[in-house]
Amino acid sequence: MVNLVLYFLGQPETKALLTLFVSIIILPLSAFSAPLVPHFIWVFLRSSYLFLGIYFVGVCCLVRWIARGGQYDALKTKDLSGKTYLVTGSAGGIGKQTALELSKLGAKVVLFARPSNLQQTISDVKKVARDAKLVSGYPIDLADLRSIKTGIEQYKKSEGEDAPITALINNAGVMACPYSTTKDGFEMQMGTNHFGHFYLTQLLLPQLIKSKSRIVNVSSLAHAMWQVPCTSDTYAKQLNKQTYTPWNAYALSKTANIYFTHELHRRFHTQGVTSYVLHPGGVDTGLQRHVAMSQVFFAPLRMLLFKTQLEGAQTNLFCAVSDDVVSGKYYSDCRETELANPHANNSEQAREWWEYSEKIVAEKIKQWD
């Protein structure tokens, strides 16, 4: 528990919040001459509204700088001409920002998004792309296995069965939503965040192996919020509406992302396919739409304490582009980081979860006939 608390305290958002708290609380402490807090701070700041204003502007700038976390500054020097990146969840948030940044650097970018958002997403990315002809998109709903199959078939028909893939970025996700199930009967968060990407990656595996591609899976520090292994039993508890808990289900799906990455590495790294998993940080996106506190109480502070979408996309970009990454590892703020859930490092459980995922996805597909 102590290690987990220290882990959370080390996050940029937590550091930013603590900095903001200390910067505010120091004023009344100084006013009342509290021990270790010089009284002259309050005397100086209250002498002029200008000084007080400068103080708060400075505090906000410092907090914002801390909250942004690690940045992939070397990306600006990259020329990605001739490289191809596939991005799921590209209609908004860090997925869209990832696609925008890659297209600016000359990469061919293939966008996977829900049908209702796809055309607008393609248009937005083309506007900033170095070459608009290198931007394409295909409709995919990660909560629907049929949609995934149809979308990948359209992609292969249009781009070619042997089209090279530099990296597949499995970015799409939902967070802490009310209980619901996908069209195939999966719990919504596990179905979208894991099973959908598992199936999509399986469909692309021949191309990924031939291209010696990277696979980047977006997980979250939230994998530590439920300290249990990801198994068929723990998943069954979240599939049951009576025992469903939004945050536990989200945490479990993020542990599943980590298991998936570890098994991808174990099974395919000898064939040249490298796999990475990451925590993007606390990012101000639509992902928090189901979290009431973030919409009401926390909303005024989000701009200060959360990363912007560009800042949140940095570790996505780092894992997809940088040469300074190690396959099978977990990254946060553009550097390798230890996992916060000890169960997430269990290779045997990762293997069992892969086998369970294969089995249950195959069973769902058989039901189409």
Active-site positions read: 250
Residue-level pLDDT at 297: 52
Structure tokens at 336: 């390798």
Classify 185 in phi/psi space as left (phi over 0), alpha (psi -120 to 50) or beta.
Answer: left
Q: Check: CATH 3.90.1170.50 for 78-366?
A: no
Task: Quote the CA–CA distance of 303 and 67 in Å, as a whole number.
Answer: 10
CA nearest to 150, candidates 139, 159, 160:
139
C-alpha atoms less than 13 angstroms from C-alpha of 133 in its C-beta half-sphere: 2
Cα separation, 24 vs 273, in Å, equals: 49
Q: Where are the alpha helices (DSSP H) in the chain?
A: 2-9, 12-31, 40-46, 49-67, 93-104, 115-128, 145-159, 188-190, 196-211, 232-239, 246-268, 292-295, 299-305, 309-312, 314-321, 347-366
Handedness of CA 126, 130, 133, 135 (dihedral sign): negative
- The continuous run of DSSP H or E covering 112 comes out as strand 108-113
- Parse the chain into domains and list their residue ranges: 2-67, 78-366
CA dihedral 107, 108, 112, 116 (to 10 degrees): 100
Question: In tens digits, what is the pLDDT along the chain, a chain of 369 residues?
Answer: 546 677 777 888 889 999 999 988 888 887 776 676 677 777 777 777 788 888 889 999 999 999 999 999 999 999 999 999 999 999 999 999 999 999 999 999 999 999 999 999 999 999 999 999 999 999 999 999 999 999 999 999 999 999 999 999 999 999 999 999 999 999 999 999 999 999 999 999 999 999 999 999 999 999 988 889 999 999 999 999 999 999 999 999 999 999 999 999 999 999 999 999 999 988 876 555 545 555 555 666 778 889 999 999 999 999 999 999 999 999 999 999 999 898 999 999 999 999 999 999 999 999 987
Task: Please report the pLDDT score of residue 158 as a whole number.
Answer: 97
Q: What is the pLDDT of residue 154?
A: 98
Under 8 Å CB-to-CB from 103, ≥6 apart: which residues? 109, 125, 126, 128, 129, 130, 134, 135
| Distances in whole angstroms, Cα of residue 201 to Cα of each of 179, 198, 239, 260 | 26, 5, 23, 10
Assign residue 363 a region (left: φ > 0; alpha: ψ between -120 and 50; beta: otherwise). alpha
pTM score above 0.85: yes
Distance CA 11, CA 30 (A): 28
Instruction: For residue 90, give both structure tokens.
Output: 């590209």
Of the chain, the end-to-end C-alpha distance in Å amounts to 48
Say if CB 319 and CB 276 are below 8 A apart. Answer: yes
Q: How far apart are CA 72 and CA 78, in angstroms?
A: 11
- And the tokens for 339? 């996992």
In the numeric block, which tokens belong to residue 337? 């980081």
Distance CA(278)–CA(319), nearest Å, equals 8
Sign of torsion, CA 58 301 63 89? negative
CB count, 10 Å around CB of 43?
A: 11
